[in-house]
């Protein structure tokens, strides 16, 4: 065998070894992730490193009940994590940053505390810059009371409002809608010939015309999955977990960081007109993105995309208004 031939053989064999070995090496580097109910420790590990442009392979198992796995702000289908079984997930990131991964199954009272982070380093390959949330650019105080001083006697009807709306002085831009509460729009109609009930109907129509059936349907689904357990299927603040929230605060969360400083509150009743008609979409956006500071309201900013949050907000208002078809 000639020397050059020998070298090329060695190169080929090395190539094969690398081709087989590299994935094995990557595989071995990813530890098995264990999922447990939040009070028993949640995800372990709960911080994972990744790089832009390099697929991240994860292997996940559950040590107790069925959990789910999804990563926030990503278009991915959640996967179930079954006890004693290993589920494999491959993720790709196009932007550096801190991503949240979370449980998608209502595994227990503190289900929504089952969160971890993926720290992604590298340069962005996504051309879209991150946008500033509206509540920040409007400089809203999320903790200021926002009750509407006047509320309608019944549920305002968008269908009736549509008939009145034709020549009314309402700014039709999405920004106007997002930065004003239903009450403020009601107030702005003060100098028209409309009765109070008609003004509220007009507001209902204005709210409906700022959403779409698709957005409402999407919001409804997200709500059922993520919010109903506390805020109630019909928005009345009476979800199955609502009663247990206070108890959970005392009993099961004591082992968790910061739990001692928590003041648990009752979930907000989205059917209460005083509260909801006094809140602008931007204000609700802020509350949802940020979560209640030290209360039972989780922080959703790391989970949902901007569009998903507007869909949720559109759906939350639908508890206040009678929408037509």
CB of 290 to Cu ion, least distance (A): 23
CB of 288 to Cu ion, least distance (A): 21
Are 52 and 93 a contacting pair, CB within 8 Å? yes
Among ligand HEC, Cu ion, none, partner that 279 touches (CB below 5 to 8 angstroms by kind): ligand HEC
Distance in angstroms (rounded) separating the CA atoms of residues 89 and 84: 16
Q: Is 22 exposed, middle or buried (0-12, 13-18, 19+ CB in 10 A)?
A: exposed
Please, what is the angle between helix 306-317 and helix 213-226, to 10°?
90
Span near ligand HEC by CB under 6 A; candidates 69-77, 114-122, 160-168, 260-268: 260-268
C-alpha–C-alpha distance, residues 197 and 195, integer Å: 5
103 binds, among Cu ion, ligand HEC, none (CB under 5 to 8 A by kind): Cu ion
Position among 58, 298, 311, 319 found at the interface with ligand HEC (CB under 6 A): 298
Question: Based on C-alpha coordinates, what's the Rg of the chain?
Answer: 25
Binding mask 48-87 for Cu ion (x = CB under 5 A): -------------------x--------------------
Among 50, 71, 107, 288, binds Cu ion (CB under 5 A): 107
Dist. CA 247–CA 195, nearest whole Å? 47
β-pair partners for 322: 157
CB count within 10 Å of CB 221 equals 13
189 binds ligand HEC (CB under 6 A): no
Selected binder of ligand HEC within 43, 69, 112, 323 (CB under 6 A)? 112
- Write out the residues near ligand HEC by the rule CB under 6 A: 112, 226-227, 229-231, 265, 267-268, 275, 279, 284, 287-288, 292, 295-298, 300, 312
Residues contributing to the site for Cu ion (CB under 5 A): 67, 103, 107, 114
């Amino acid at each position: 065998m000639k020397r050059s031939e020998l070298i090329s053989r060695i190169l080929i064999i090395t190539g094969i070894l690398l081709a087989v070995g590299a994935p094995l090496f990557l595989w071995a580097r990813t530890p098995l992730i264990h999922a447990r109910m939040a009070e028993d420790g949640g995800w372990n590990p709960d911080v994972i490193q990744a790089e832009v442009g390099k697929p991240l392979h994860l292997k996940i198992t559950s040590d107790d009940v069925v959990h789910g796995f999804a990563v926030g702000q990503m278009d991915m289908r959640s996967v179930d994590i079954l006890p004693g079984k290993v589920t494999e997930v491959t993720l790709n990131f196009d932007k550096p940053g801190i991503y949240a991964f979370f449980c998608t199954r209502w595994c227990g009272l503190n289900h929504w505390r089952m969160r971890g982070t993926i720290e992604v380093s590298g340069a962005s390959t996504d051309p879209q810059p991150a946008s500033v949330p509206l509540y920040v650019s409007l400089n809203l105080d999320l903790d200021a009371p926002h009750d509407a001083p006047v509320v309608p006697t019944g549920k305002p009807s968008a269908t009736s409002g549509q008939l009145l709306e034709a020549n009314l002085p309402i700014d039709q831009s999405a920004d106007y809608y997002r930065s004003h509460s239903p009450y403020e729009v009601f107030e702005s109609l003060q100098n028209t010939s409309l009765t109070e009930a008609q003004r509220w109907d007009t507001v209902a129509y204005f709210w409906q015309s700022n959403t779409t059936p698709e957005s409402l349907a999407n919001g409804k689904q997200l709500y059922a999955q993520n919010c109903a357990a506390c805020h109630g299927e019909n928005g009345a603040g009476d979800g199955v977990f609502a009663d247990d929230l206070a108890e959970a605060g005392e009993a099961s969360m004591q082992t968790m960081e910061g739990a001692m400083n928590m003041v648990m509150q009752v979930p907000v009743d989205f059917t209460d007109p005083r509260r909801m008609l006094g809140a602008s979409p931007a204000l609700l956006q802020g509350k949802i993105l940020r979560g209640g500071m030290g209360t039972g309201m989780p922080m959703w900013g790391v989970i949902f995309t901007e569009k998903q949050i507007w869909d949720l907000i559109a759906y939350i208002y639908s508890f206040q208004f009678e929408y037509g078809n």
